[in-house]
Amino acid sequence: MAITTSTVTDLCVTAKRASRMLAATDSATRDAALEAIADALEARTPEILEANARDMEAGREAGLTSALLDRLALDAQRILAIADGARDVAALPDPVGELIGGGMLENGLELRKVRVPIGVVAVVYEARPNVTIDAAALCLKSGNACVLRGSSTAAHSNAVLASIAAQAAEGAGLPAGSVALVAGGGRDELTELATQQGVVDLIIPRGGEGLKKALEGVATVPVIYAASGNCHVYVDRSADLEKAVAITVNAKTHRPGVCNAAESLLVHADAAEAFVPAVLGALHERGVELRVDGRTRALAGPGFAGHLVDATDEDWGTEFLALVIAVAVVDSLDQAIDHVNEHGSGHSEAIVTEDLGAALMFQRRVDAACVYVNASTRFTDGGEFGMGAEIGNSTQKLHARGPIGLRELCSFKYVVVGDGHVRA
């Protein structure tokens, strides 16, 4: 069962045993488990919705913002999409055992570098219950056991989803303990999970800077941070302004509470006179709070009197996760790139330009996992990248960067085959 009174350590030790069996499980069995999970989600939709309704009621009473409530909410269509996501992962090529290098050595040994599961992957995440199934599906497909720790905000939803996944996976032939949920939402459980050295092989936190800092202070196991997204859209001097408005509006308002939403807009001075009033109007119509520098305010025009807030220094480094955007006018591409690198979180950054040279410069010099030319930052997503579901987006540079999909949940080993070889 996924939810028990077991301690965090007990759950992790059981997951470790399961991971050793999972590593030797054939692809067909793992795929069948994902199909079984998807079928069970659809069959038990009323139970999931009932649990989610309890979380939503508690969230409204706690004063969660509309964006956070949107992240928490499930309906029949979203549950179907989660189930379809599990099926999509099942249909992806199996990374386990994939040959990624090697050959015959001069000494006659055959060397093969092959992908292997990491082992036990712990995923710590905030109020997005879909991550429960996304993480389980990706871990199981890649031959890993997973230990899940969601937030108290989604406690009822996560409990039902994890239980469904655990039961369906075990029923399809995977070892017991392949999917487990840490039921407690407190810091003590987080600390216990983050210090399972030798048992948990990797922790992936999916949340804001608060979660990242909480783990940085205690973790003794390896961590890939899928943390905040302070993303920018930069409108260059040569930008097609109609494209620029559409991209900015989409990047900010499509789902403002997610990590790939734009939080800041930078506009080249040569484009600002025509672009600033147009984009501010489009954003204001969609309920976006506009925090602007002095140059933006001067160009906005009298129609925006009372609708603009003076941006503070803190605003440029803030992930709002809401219908709020900071707007500044810059004098050059260099200034825009410097601003992005200083204030961005290394997640997703976009340039709108018709100048190939400017686009190449932005691509080369901006330090981020994903860099876009004439496209919204909202595309940073494992599904959109053809990777199936994702556990999160890494802003680090080692092992995994950008969407964390199947291959990012694998390590590798060298398999060496000889015929009585000994080293002289």
What single-letter DSSP state applies at residue 143? T
Cα separation, 366 vs 340, in Å, equals: 7
Task: Output the pLDDT for position 2.
Answer: 42
Task: Output the pLDDT for position 3.
Answer: 44
pLDDT band at 329, cuts 50/70/90? very high
What does the DSSP assignment read for 61-96? Answer: HTT--HHHHHHH---HHHHHHHHHHHHHHHHSPP-T
Give the range among 40-44, 218-222, 302-306 with minimum mean pLDDT.
Answer: 302-306
Strands (E), 287-379: 289-292, 308-310, 324-330, 348-352, 370-373
Give the range among 23-32, 321-330, 354-363, 381-390 with minimum mean pLDDT.
Answer: 381-390
Cα separation, 247 vs 375, in Å, equals: 6
Span 358-380, average pLDDT: 97
Cα separation, 179 vs 22, in Å, equals: 11
* Res 56 pLDDT > 90: yes
Task: Output the pLDDT for position 140.
Answer: 98
Q: Over the stretch 379-407, which tens digit does the pLDDT of each residue have? A: 998 889 888 778 888 988 888 899 999 99
Task: Output the pLDDT for position 13.
Answer: 97
Cα separation, 9 vs 196, in Å, equals: 7
Sign of the dihedral defined by the CA atoms of residues 361, 366, 371, 372, in that order: negative
Q: Over the stretch 9-22, which tens digit does the pLDDT of each residue have? A: 999 999 999 999 99
Report whether 14 contacts 1 (CB < 8 A): no
β partners of residue 24? none
Q: Which residues contact 51 (CB under 8 A, 6 or more apart)?
A: 156, 157, 159, 160
Question: Does 3.40.309.10 match the CATH number of domain 231-379?
Answer: yes
What single-letter DSSP state applies at residue 300? H
Task: Output the pLDDT for position 227.
Answer: 65
Q: Over the stretch 64-117, which tens digit does the pLDDT of each residue have? A: 988 789 889 999 999 999 999 999 999 999 999 999 999 999 999 999 999 999
pLDDT band at 1, cuts 50/70/90? very low
Angle between helices 155-171 and 45-61 (to 10 degrees): 160
Largest CA distance in the chain: 85
Alpha helix positions (H), 145-186:
155-171
Phi-psi region of 150 (alpha: psi -120 to 50; beta: other; left: phi over 0): beta
Do domains 8-226+391-417 and 231-379 share one topology? The answer is no
Task: Output the pLDDT for position 185.
Answer: 61
Q: Over the stretch 255-298, which tens digit does the pLDDT of each residue have? A: 998 899 999 999 999 999 999 999 999 999 999 999 999 999 99
Task: Output the pLDDT for position 389.
Answer: 72
Annotated domain spans of the chain: 8-226+391-417, 231-379
Strands 402-403 and 370-373, sheet pairing: unpaired
Span 352-373, average pLDDT: 98
Report whether 139 contacts 4 (CB < 8 A): no
Q: Which residues contact 99 (CB under 8 A, 6 or more apart)?
A: 112, 113, 114
What single-letter DSSP state applies at residue 340? H
Cα separation, 158 vs 160, in Å, equals: 6
Report whether 190 contacts 210 (CB < 8 A): no
Give the range among 68-72, 117-121, 409-413 with minimum mean pLDDT.
Answer: 68-72
206 vs 231, more confident: 231
User: For the chain, what percent of residues have pLDDT higher than 70?
Assistant: 98
- Per the prediction, the chain carries an average pLDDT of 93
Helix (H) or strand (E) holding 383: none
Tokens of 361: 């410069």
Span 333-361, average pLDDT: 97
**Single-letter amino acid code for the residue at 58:** A
Place of tokens 């099942």: 90
Span 115-138, average pLDDT: 93
Q: Which CATH class is domain 8-226+391-417?
A: alpha beta
Cα separation, 159 vs 150, in Å, equals: 9
